[in-house]
Amino acid sequence: MNRLHQSQPAPGARVIVGMSGGVDSAVSAALLLEQGYAVQGLFMKNWDEDDGTEYCTAKADLADARAVCDQLGIELLTASFAAEYWDDVFAAFLAAYRNNLTPNPDVLCNREIKFRQFRDYALTLGADAIATGHYARLAVAEDGMPRLLKGVDTGKDQSYFLQAVTADQLRNVLFPVGGLWKREVRAIADRLGLRNRAKKDSTGICFIGERRFRDFLAQYVPPRPGPILDTEGRTRGQHHGLAYYTIGQRQGLGIGGTRDCPEAPWYVVDKVVEGDVLVVSQNVDTLLGTWLAAAEPNWISPAPALPLRCHVRIRYRQSDQAATVQARADGQLLVRFDTPQRAITPGQYVCFSLGEQVLGGATITCGGR
């Protein structure tokens, strides 16, 4: 691996910070000010629909962003990338669900909106760099290109969501809180008396909010009910539509246990398009898989030689899992795990890393035992 070194614009450079209304972006702006940068904030509006429900938080988030910028004495700009979000993120999100996959819109949102639309827009405004509140870090290799590193706080590390961003998109980018623990970020916010210092972290879909997911998805993907069968082919109930369920799910199935095992939960283990069948099992081992195939790999660093021994994650906040990555004849990647993995989910992403460096990722297409 190339030797890595830290690199960032010199103090005095103009940096536009993506202000979400949350504490991480607020502290990011404050830290850059303390380091001598010329800082502006930018609030991105990327979802036009406001249905008046408790889930629509854009107005409150904008108010928090404004209050923080006022406290810090910096200008807050606003921009709408709603059309781009719909075309480049949400349309793909819906297409995946219509194909009974389980996509991760946050990965696409980072690639298409935060590190393409926002970054390009900020640079056209004359910024030398952008900054976000991601818990991730950057370093520069001997070839002069950025490399993505995991955040120091393993419980908050967000590098998994950045796996689809290219090295070129990471130029002129700063992650001010990536080298901090969350408790340190909260402490800085307390010290500065920031309005949003106690605000809870957002856990909803990128730019859509913490809505009741099935109700939201039903507006775009109509219900298509079908049978729930166990692995022996016995009918256990009816589902609302394959799109509304994901591999490994145990909540919201609406079926009880069996006479022999009344308390054991049921898990979704497969979705069969022919007949719209949702397959369930009470045997959690049925969810274990030893391999997966993944398409459209994105290598942030130069593409490595295969086969490759590395670590992988197939979901956010999963610990690193040892695996071997090989090339398949169809152009996809084959990932073989040292230890069987639970709930390998088509449509989700597999993220590759070596030590603290994130190499990239790919979209999971299938998996097996």
- Taking the C-alpha atoms of residue 338 and residue 341, their distance in angstroms, rounded to an integer, is 9
Going by the DSSP 8-state scheme, the letter that residue 5 receives in this structure is B
Structure tokens at 82: 């709603």
Our answer to whether residue 109 is catalytic in this structure is yes
First to last CA, the chain: 33
Q: DSSP secondary structure string, 203-264? A: -SBTTTBS--HHHHHHTTS--B-EEEEETTS-EEEEESBGGG--TT--TT------SSSTTP
Q: Which of 69, 206, 310, 351 is catalytic?
A: 206
Handedness of CA 146, 138, 207, 18 (dihedral sign): negative
Closest by Cα among 17, 22, 19 to 198: 22
Going by the DSSP 8-state scheme, the letter that residue 331 receives in this structure is S
Our answer to whether residue 206 is catalytic in this structure is yes
What are the CA-CA distances from residue 206 to residues 12, 158, 203, 254 (Å)?
A: 32, 13, 8, 28
Q: Per-residue b/e over 116-142, b at no fewer than 16 CB within 10 Å?
A: bbbbebbeeeebbbbbbbbbbbbbbbe
Q: Which of 109, 261, 351, 366 is catalytic?
A: 109
Q: Give the residue numbers annotated as catalytic, written as ranges.
A: 109, 206
